[in-house]
Homo-oligomer: A and B are copies of this chain.
């Protein structure tokens, strides 16, 4: 098993989180995973899969020409719960929307002065 630090680094990447989400509840082939992320090449997906496997977050199994991948939620423990929330917590989605809305709505208050006094 890879270090905790490596696990943190792994799930810090949005791309890898996306892959984890895809294979969280089901086994998918590398090809299927790639089809779900058409903005990158197959090679890129393959590299991310490799890194996920190396950190122990994903399991791989070869079957004929295909390679099947599936997440190992038990390797993530509490972090897994956190990711699940990130994925399907409607509340969170709403919060994010509000946040974006806020940043869209006009320029940030001008950052002129420092904190005034001690």
The answer to whether A9 has its CB under 8 Å from any CB of chain B is yes
Q: How far is the CA of A96 from the CA of B5 in the complex (A)?
A: 10
Protomer copies: 2
Residues 81-110 of A contacting B (Cβ, < 8 Å): 81-82, 86, 92, 96, 99
1/0 contact trace for A1-44 toward B, CB 8 Å?
00111001101101001000000000000000000000000000
Chain A contributes a number of interface residues (CB within 8 A of B) equal to: 25
* Chain A contact residues, majority secondary structure: helix
The answer to whether A47 has its CB under 8 Å from any CB of chain B is no
Q: How far is the CA of A9 from the CA of B11 in the complex (A)?
A: 8
User: What are 27 A-B pairs with beta-carbon distances under 8 A?
Assistant: A3-B96, A3-B99, A4-B82, A4-B86, A4-B92, A5-B14, A5-B17, A5-B86, A8-B8, A8-B11, A8-B12, A9-B12, A11-B12, A12-B12, A62-B115, A62-B117, A62-B118, A63-B118, A64-B118, A65-B118, A66-B118, A78-B78, A78-B79, A78-B81, A78-B82, A79-B79, A79-B82
